[in-house]
Chain A
Amino acid sequence: MVPFNLLVAACLIYVILLFLVAFWAERQAQRGRVKWLRSPLVYTLSLSIYCTAWTFYGAVGYAARSGLEFVTIYLGPTLVLIGWWWVLRKLVRIGRTQRVTSIADLISSRFGKSNLLGVIVTLICVVAATPYIALQLQSVTLSFNVFAGPVPEGWAMRDSNSTALWVAAGLTLFTILFGTRNLDANERHNGVVTAIALEAVVKLVALLAVGVFTVWVVASGPADILSRIEASDIADWQMQPGRWAGLTFLAGAAILTLPRMFQVMVVENADERHMATASWAFPLYLFAMSLFVVPIAVVGLAVLPEGSNPDLFVLTLPLAFDQGGLAMLAFLGGFSSATSMVIVEAIALATMVSNHIVMPLWLRFRSGGARGAGDVRGLVLMSRRLSIAGVLALGYTYFALSGGSSALAAIGLISFVGVAQILPAMLGGLFWRGATRLGAASGLLTGFAIWLYALFLPSFGNGGLFGVELMLHGPLGVGWLRPQALFGIGGIDPLLHALFWSLSLNTALFCAVSLLTFPGPMERLQGVAFVNVFDHSGPTRGWSRGGAEAEDLLAMAQGILGADEAQGFFQAQAAAQGKAGFLPDTTPDFFAALERRLAGSVGAATAHAMIAQFAAGAAVSVQDLMAVANEAQQIMEYSSQLEAKSEELARTARALSEANEKLQALSVQKDAFLSQISHELRTPMTSIRAFSEILMEGGLEGPDQARYAEIIHDETIRLTRLLDDLLDLSVLENGRVQLNVQVANLHDLIDRALQAASQTRPERRFLIHRDLPTEHMPIFTDTDRLVQVFINLISNARKYCDAARPELTIRVRRRGAQVEVDFIDNGSGIPAGSQSLVFEKFARLTDTTRAGGAGLGLAICREIMANLGGTITYVPGQGGAAFRVALPARRQREAA
């Protein structure tokens, strides 16, 4: 017997190992070392969450009770996986092009981004998953009890509920820590996936070890096992054709529709080609997991005392032969199966709940809608974390209330039938353009209702929710509504009965209502995008040109994606349009791309609703509808080639006209500068001439003479400064500048700059926001030049910030090898038209009286930054003028 304390310790060490692995994987991913993390092997192993504790413990029990029938649960998925070319490939492709976040999102997105469908699917999944999570908690508790013995010793808990509570709490912590690190649900949870791959290995090794022990140590090889099978009770097994076919089908359906399988198979998929490997490697995994099930069951039945629970043979068999170590390994295998399932299920369900229930409610009840949205990111993450806790709390409550029912397999199959209700809408959506939203909704609701009535609620046992009277004679004595004999057809296996009626009525209604109703424009668009996903390489467009300002969109996107992500995305989009800076034109394509990006975080329906508040006019243009209706593919292809060409022309034209505008503005500026510079040179010259003439005439008192000389001196200094600036600029522009690179603390540099710049308009009191701890970082650069840039930016803020209570925020951030310093004031910022000009020479936006210089400051800054190997940019949409200085933390050696 293994001491119980040792078992608990092993368990804790294992959990700590999982945390470390997940943490390590996240770190690797952050550093961009994802090649190994995203290999087909890890993908295949992550699919193994199909094998839960139900497989690990339950399969043996199932075999002991009903013979070979247990393999149907693994043959169904095998058939679906080897048939990947039909369904899975399409599913994965759609999942990636549409940035699908969950199975509810898939259905909602396919049927016109309908949130109603998202809610229905979410509800079905939560209701069906709750008993399944309870089942995992139960299996861990049961396996603990095997070791605890009749009298609790050591740390054994008297009450099995408290074991389950601890397990649930630990899993909640793990899932929240590693499952909600990034908001984009479409991005991979590298930590979770890697930990699950490890768990997959542990459970496979554990089951194989017990199997090998059984076949070659307890029995004497395969031949012996075969003869033992014939001698055991399992040989009396009767094939029930209905159940055989039904269960194979059910398991095949489940692997497509289980939320956790969808999560690892589609959402976490990093490369479509991994599917090819998984198509044979995952069936191989299932094969290996099932190989020793019958031998363990047969030997267990023969060796262990009458009446021992066959669901626990995997543990009790090694214990009966005093193999403590092996039993411990088996225990960890079962623990792995339970925990990995719960973690992924909780992530999948939490994404659905937060995207389809919490976010739409928030959007509706929030005044002003998405416009000017603040930090939505925090809200979504919080709602996701709370949902994870909620899902696990539901599972625990079910476990505590049901008190743990006897046979594991029954609960698992009931849950399978529940999620299988999504299958008609899913397959119909993938292959039939005529499927409509109302059809899907009515099919789903019908199937769900029948499942609840005929299978789920009766599963609480006679005298549970449904009384004996109701089960025998139907509600109010209506015989043909008896839960287990609908329409008067009794005598079928209850599971098959519910499966048959729920799925057939579900499919029938789905098809009939789809035939009778008419889809909306968005539904038709999405229908084409899904069904013809392999023909349509281009994404669908759903927006006509909106009247929205790119700057507003950027502010909204920052609230959801985070500032870095959103700015990067906008920059890339602008670059694709041939524009520099952060603000792309709000073309329909840009709207579609932004919507898809947001959908990866908050789901298609919510993203659509948020964009709808910005894009003016009809969401679907006539051209888009014509593209749907147009059956003549060739014409479309030809016109799409034309379109591509004209798009390229438009892009070039846009770039040209932008360059032209800039040139014109520059030429105007240059003229202005010439008169400006002559003016600037002339004013001091005039006074110098006047005062020197006075001095030449002589006859002045000592003090007057000194005063006039001082004026002349000051004016010459002013002249010199102007000429210095000009000289500096030309040196910088020609790249002939000598850099004096040294190491310094960025914090000290900012301090120096703030102090020096405080001379500019010293009468203004500025509130400075800084985050001191982040500023302390070493930096290798020409510190004097860098400080010069900082001083310029700070004094600009002091000069031009027009807020009544001026504030300046300085934010330092490290991004890879780059350091970014943002200077953001709370004034009215720079109007969009002038943003591209501020860095040009002699640009001055306001009248000259307020500024003291000749408008060379920012131009010098830009040249300095270019010389330091960095950039300076204006960042729009930050609630004031915002400049970002980016430079390498360590200056690379010049190639030249």
Chain B
Amino acid sequence: MPARSTPLFLARRSYRRRRVMDAARLLPVVGGFLVALPILWRPAETPGGETAQGVVYLFVVWALLILAAAVLARKLSPALEDEAGESGLGPERR
């Protein structure tokens, strides 16, 4: 039974890493969707009560996007380190 607890997959680390890259590619799409949502708001049927909510909605979405980007940037940093080592394009040494 203990053998079942870990899925049979050898290159787990690089598999995870590629999925993190996918997530990084997806994030702006999700962000674009959330930012475009206000277009669907019905224009001022009920007077008042909307603009303040709008402000709150936009800033909350914005903060969540920043948080997600920060988490992804952290997860991507090992991939970037490897790349920089390979291509010799790390910090310039003069």
* A residues at B contact (CB < 8 Å): 38, 67-68, 71, 75, 78-86, 93, 96-97, 226-227, 229-230, 234-239, 241, 244-245, 248, 270-273, 276-277, 279-281, 283-284, 287, 291, 294, 537
Contacts and interface: CB of A to CB of B under 8 A. Distances in A.
Nearest to A269: B92
A88 B14 CA distance: 23
Nearest to A226: B52
A539 B67 CA distance: 37
30 contacts: A68-B55, A71-B62, A78-B62, A79-B28, A82-B28, A82-B31, A82-B68, A82-B69, A83-B31, A84-B24, A85-B25, A86-B25, A226-B52, A227-B52, A229-B55, A230-B51, A235-B48, A235-B50, A235-B52, A239-B38, A272-B83, A272-B90, A276-B76, A276-B77, A276-B80, A277-B73, A279-B72, A280-B66, A283-B65, A287-B59
B69 A81 contact: yes
Interface in B74-89: 76-77, 80-81, 83-84, 86-87, 89
B80 A272 contact: yes
Nearest to A271: B91
A858 B58 CA distance: 77
Contacts of B28: 79-80, 82-83, 86
Nearest to B81: A273
Given A96-B89, A239-B43, A280-B73, 6 more contacts: A75-B62, A83-B31, A245-B36, A271-B91, A273-B90, A279-B72
Contacts of A248: 35-36
Nearest to B28: A83
A537 B89 CA distance: 10
Contact of B69 (A239, A245, A270, A280): A280
A230 B52 CA distance: 6
Contact of A280 (B25, B70, B80, B86): B70
A234 B51 contact: yes
Given A81-B69, A273-B77, A280-B69, A71 B39 contact: no
A226 B31 CA distance: 25
Nearest to A229: B52
Nearest to B71: A280
Contacts of B69: 81-82, 279-280, 283
Contacts of A294: 55
Contacts of B52: 226-227, 229-230, 235
Most buried by A among B65, B83, B86: B65
Contacts of A281: 70
Interface size class, chain B: 35 or more
B44 interface: yes
A93 B90 CA distance: 11
B1 interface: no
Contacts of A235: 48, 50-52
A229 B73 CA distance: 36
Contacts of A270: 91-92
Q: Is the interface of B mostly helix, strand, loop or mixed?
A: helix
B21 A85 contact: yes
A85 B24 contact: yes
A202 B63 CA distance: 23
A244 B38 contact: yes
B2 interface: no
Contacts of A280: 66-67, 69-70, 73
B70 to A, nearest CB: 4
Contacts of A284: 66
B34 to A, nearest CB: 10
Contacts of A277: 73
Q: Which A-B residue pairs are the 4 nearest by beta carbons?
A: A83-B28, A280-B69, A280-B70, A85-B24
B9 interface: no
Nearest to B62: A287
A241 B39 contact: yes
Contact of B59 (A239, A244, A291): A291
Contacts of B29: 83
B41 interface: yes
Contact of B54 (A68, A75, A93, A245): A68
A294 B59 CA distance: 11
Contacts of A84: 24
A262 to B, nearest CB: 18
B32 interface: yes
B71 to A, nearest CB: 8
A244 B39 contact: yes
B49 interface: yes
Nearest to A284: B66
B80 A68 contact: no
A97 B62 contact: no
Nearest to B87: A537
B31 A68 contact: no
A67 B51 contact: yes
Contact of B86 (A75, A80, A537): A537
A93 B83 CA distance: 11
A283 B63 CA distance: 9
Contacts of A238: 43-44
A582 B66 CA distance: 51
A128 B84 CA distance: 36
A97 B59 CA distance: 38
A277 B87 CA distance: 20
A227 B55 CA distance: 12
